[in-house]
Structure 1
Amino acid sequence: MNVVTYRILLGIAALIAGLFNLPAAYEKLRETCKGLLFFEPLKSLGFWILMIIQVLFPAGIFLAWVTDFFTSEPPIDFPLFVKAIGVGLSFVAFLNARTETVFLTIDIKSVYNRLIVIGVRLIAAQETRRTAQFLREFERELMQPTAMLEEGLKDLRAYFSADISLSPEEEETFLRAIDQALRETSLYDKITATQSLVQSVRRQDLFYTLQQFNVRPEFLQYYFPKEFKALKGNPIR
């Protein structure tokens, strides 16, 4: 095997490590950004930076590991690719390790976290103001005399009860929070609880959920123009 072919195959093995890390990394990012109601990952520079880091960082760690910090040349064989998959699937374990060489000590988790912060800050810079504006305007909508706060909360109870992706503990937490909100005598406390609950609704379900609170059409049209346009021709209610 010539040098170019060897390096290409070694690089492919390293990329496999990065690609197998993506599902877990994406799920963690999704959880981090859950409260950002209008976050569209594919349109976010921060998202793409994070995905590149989540591929290249494990790939680099894998290369450093199998080449003993680039001082040896491991054979290109089936076990090498199995190791790459293992690194990708168990990358969290690598983050909790310290990799030592004769020349330096590297705190892998610290380096990784600093890189991740870059992408998260870019996402926050793009999305925080938009989400905060929506929550404030939603608060004003719920204070309108035409708002149906209790009906909306009952719909949220049905929504979280039907969500099979929730663990029993998560479902119980949501239902307890909704029941507490329904019992609240303070309108402010009831609205605050509702704002928090709405942030856990999936983006594609949010339009229908807000309808159950009987918010004004202008509010829906501003934040959900596509869904509002479709609603005219095919009313949900």
Structure 2
Amino acid sequence: MMAWHRILALTVLITGSVGGQVLSWAQSSPVIEVGKFSSDQPGAGLPNGWKPLTFKKIPKQTEYVLVRDGEQVVVKATSDASASGLTREVAINPKDYPIVRWRWKVENLLQHSDVSHKDGDDYPARLYITFAYDPDKVSFGRKLKYKAGRAIFGDIPIGALNYIWETRVPIGAIVENAYTDFARMIVVESGPQKVGLWVDEERNIYEDYKKAFGEEPPMINGVAIMSDTDNTKEHAIAFYGDISFWRTAR
């Protein structure tokens, strides 16, 4: 699921309250390598620069390990009625770097996932991106909701895009998260056709945010991967390849 306590947990990590440094890069660089998993060593702990994303109310965590798949080192996620993720703190202007690219593979779909219901808010694979609050880029109505949420939960992101591998919902659908309208679910893969295959993805975050929230996107402050099955109590295995942000599309 993606309740506020999950978004809050991610925010605690990416705002640096537990230490760590924001990913930095040359401003003139055509690409930002957020997850260069292929340069890590298999079985050598967490990927370089990434931290665990865990949730107090969910005792069982998804297992993440660096493995070799063919010629590439990737992250393998095994979720068994569990939920946790890996996250990295970043500071990326989506107007300068609007394109996100990544690779992933799932070994199975979830039979009882349902993007429209809380008890079905599980996915074998997801990539999600959070955005920092910028009052100059937020409508009056969303400012009121944000202030109300902040009064309850503390420092929270203004929005999150979840790129998901769904079971039934058509590719291209943008759905409000079942728990909060501060998050949008964007279906980039659906159904069994590509199960077991590596799939290369490319999305325009800048355009996706505008479509999802109807506003200009603020700075990106966090990136996470997560495979979760705590609601459906199912089992899922997924693999995540390198993640990067680009100035231009292919």
Q: Would you call these one fold, judging by a TM-score over 0.5?
A: no
Structure having the higher Rg: 1
Q: If the TM-score is normalised by the length of the shorter chain, which range does it land in?
A: under 0.3
The structure where helix makes up a greater share of residues is: 1
Greater RCO, CA 8 A, separation 6+: 2
